[in-house]
A and B are shown apart, each in its own frame.
Chain A
Amino acid sequence: MLAGIVALLAWLVANTAHNLETRGLKTGFGFLKDPAFFDINQKLIEYSSRSSFGRALLVGLLNTLLVSALGIVAATILGFAAGMLRLSRNWLMARLATAYVEFTRNVPLLLQLIFWWSLLTGLPGVQDSLSLGNVAFLNNRGARLPAPSAEPGFGMVLAGAGMAVVAAIAVSAWAKRRRLATGRGFPVAAIAIGLIVGVPTTLFLALGQPLAWDVPQPGRFNFTGGIQVTPELVALWWALSVYTGAFIAEGVRGGILSVARGQTEAAYALGLSRGATMRKVVLPQALCAIVPPLTSQYLNLTKNSSLAVAIGYQDLVSVGGTVLNQSGRALEVVSIWIVVYLGLSLLTSLFMNWYNRRIALVER
């Protein structure tokens, strides 16, 4: 069997070499330095049509990471909400959540993506944009939001916020130690939120609001200024979140159901309320069962973000397709895709292993 595999590989390599030679195709990654000559509409880093193919791919990778990060946050919120609602005592809400989960899971993601995109591009045109207080606008080219730009002194606010976070962490650590030692509780959540919100806000007001807003202005064709959020980004983000959220909901539900019933009953017997039981007894235990499938859902979401190519969101695969086309380097571009996605999945599984070890230590 090994010999078979080796022979197959040798055969493929020989074919490839032969084909590359007869077709006069060049190989190698040197082309990444060549100018790309095409433009990209959404870029998180500086990029122009004179930038290199390599930089174009980097722009695409960052766009992939952006939509994945946004999607992971939203899918987690949606998934936890729907998963707990499915177990809710409220019959109607449980049914609604079930309908959401079952419908979304059983319809192709690509179809949902194209549907959301067609819905977004069906919004009113630029001239008839829906406006929110004349600072934010929504039309069939996406959303235009005011862009914040920092003025002198804003660094102070950021530093204050950072310190508030550190302080909040310290307080919660201290409160935990005290609780373990004395059994007395401490309103950690309220104080932490107060710190994290209060300190920067006070500083911000005290320093005379050192933040300017670049408000979008109507132009001849489009709004100018502000941040543009393309309908492609919103559609992809939303579709990924809704779809993955349904799978996460199943994981959450399974995790909660896996916690022995006696735990809940014991918590009730101790006089904990339903909410407190969920928060302090059930969820911490359920998380052990929820997190491993959750990470693989995150990975799926990242992989699925490659469907961007169907609606023209400029992610790694989409930009890579253009690079491939303009340079003719199929072999190189596909291997870059493989390396990047494998790298991402490797990172995810490393994180998962680390997390599993941590959970295992906590187990008593």
Chain B
Amino acid sequence: MSTFHRTTAEMVTPRPPPPLSRGVIGWLRANLFSSWFNAAMTLLAVYLLWLLVPGILRWGLLDADFAGTTRFDCQSAGACWAWVDQRIYQFLYGFYPPEQAWRVNLALTLLIPALLPVLFDRMPGARWARWFSLAYPFVAAFLLVGGYGLAEVPTDRFGGFMLNVAVGLAGILLSLPFGILLALGRRSQLPLVRLLSTAFIETFRGIPLVTFMFAAALLLPIFLPPRFNLDLIMRVIILVTMYASAYIAEVVRGGLQSLPRGQYEAAQALGLGYWRAMRLVILPQALKVSIPGIVNTFIALFKDTTLVIVIGLFDILNIGTSMIANPNWLGLGTEVYAFISIFFFVICFAMSRYSLHLERRLDVGR
């Protein structure tokens, strides 16, 4: 009887994987050509890219014209970017007086110190910086409109990208307090308050923003007293604020709901009244959880500020469309829309990444 028992003196050294499952080829096989279907998809994707990328590159960069004063200076087959140099000021600042443009820049720059203490609460001096955050909307409004020593700029000079940013920011900042109140109202013990808050939130979430724009232009003046002359941009900001506060309310309500009941009970046990409990215990936690949602609401609102075009305000998109109505720049739609898209994309994409990052961090913290 022989035994099958066999021993060996040395360990078997691990052999390298077969060459085809490693390195570039292996990666390609695993990710692009794992089956015939997968391979077909890859070929389709490559074909799509081959269609799009070289064409766009050639049109947008290689064959494009960058200098000139009218579209007739653009002789090549590609895009005509000559207008960027001529019109960039209008695209950014609308009809804001050029010698005052520093005020817009300053207002936008000040946004950074105003946001920092809200976003990073462990920042040194955050307690004091927060007062600045609270004051920021007023500081910015003062800078943009002027008065009290600064040259006054009527709001009908607002335009271009600055108008989008101003309406978007004003809408979101002003809607925060209202949104929080509405969220609390929707969770209130008082049936009437709950009913009113719910009705407001659902109404404003159910109606398209365009109708709000029309209401701002056509209806709001009927609701206000005769001497109460608000210009169109102020009216738009009011209605955008109401619209956004309904969305913010739902975000904050989500934050409130995510808190464990114990927090409410603990606050009550400490003998805190409703408002103090909210202010000191509940809201700080709920709002922190809500920040990603608020950022997402802002992204949506910011994109929607382009809707002011339907009531004839000159935001960046309207400046663009009216520029291509100019005989000198007729027919440059694709260039203009591509340019504006990149603007919005860069900003919104960055913000959405940030909100995603926050969401992940909050998830980890829990």
A309, B345: Cβ atoms closer than 8 Å: no
Of the listed stretches A51-59, A172-180, A230-238, A334-342, chain B binds A334-342
Chain B interface main SS type: helix
Complex: chain B residue closest to A23, CB-CB: B222
Contact with B along A294-336 (1 / 0, CB 8 A): 0000010001101101100000010001001000001100100
B58 to chain A, nearest CB (A): 18
Q: Within the complex, which residue of A111, A341, A344 is in contact with B337, where a contact is CB–CB below 8 Å?
A: A111
CA distance A114 to B321 in the complex (A): 9
A18, B225: Cβ atoms closer than 8 Å: yes
Contact with B along A1-26 (1 / 0, CB 8 A): 11001000000100110111010010
Q: Within the complex, which residue of A88, A102, A321 is in contact with B214, where a contact is CB–CB below 8 Å?
A: A321
B44 to chain A, nearest CB (A): 8
B45, A96: Cβ atoms closer than 8 Å: yes
Q: Is B9 an interface residue (CB 8 A)?
A: no
B32, A337: Cβ atoms closer than 8 Å: no
CA distance A344 to B46 in the complex (A): 42
B344, A107: Cβ atoms closer than 8 Å: yes
A119 to chain B, nearest CB (A): 8
A345 to chain B, nearest CB (A): 4
Contacting residues, chain B, for A309 (C-beta < 8 A): 210, 310
Of the listed stretches B138-146, B253-261, B301-309, chain A binds B301-309
CA distance A306 to B222 in the complex (A): 23
B211, A341: Cβ atoms closer than 8 Å: yes
CA distance A341 to B344 in the complex (A): 28
Contacting residues, chain B, for A344 (C-beta < 8 A): 206
Q: Is B77 an interface residue (CB 8 A)?
A: no
CA distance A1 to B38 in the complex (A): 62
Chain B residues 299 to 338 lying within 8 A of chain A, measured CB to CB, are 299, 303-304, 306-307, 309-310, 317, 321, 333-334, 337
CA distance A330 to B217 in the complex (A): 10
B333, A118: Cβ atoms closer than 8 Å: yes
Q: Within the complex, which residue of B211, B225, B299 is in contact with A317, where a contact is CB–CB below 8 Å?
A: B211
Q: Is A278 an interface residue (CB 8 A)?
A: no
B162 to chain A, nearest CB (A): 16
Chain A residues 326 to 364 lying within 8 A of chain B, measured CB to CB, are 330-331, 334, 337-338, 341-342, 344-346
Interface residues of B (CB under 8 A from A): 30-32, 34, 38, 41-42, 44-46, 48-49, 192-193, 196, 202-203, 205-211, 214-215, 218-219, 221-226, 299, 303-304, 306-307, 309-310, 317, 321, 333-334, 337, 340-341, 344-345, 348-349, 352
Interface residues of A (CB under 8 A from B): 1-2, 5, 12, 15-16, 18-20, 22, 25, 88-93, 96, 102-103, 105-112, 114-115, 118-119, 122, 299, 303-304, 306-307, 309-310, 317, 321, 324, 330-331, 334, 337-338, 341-342, 344-346
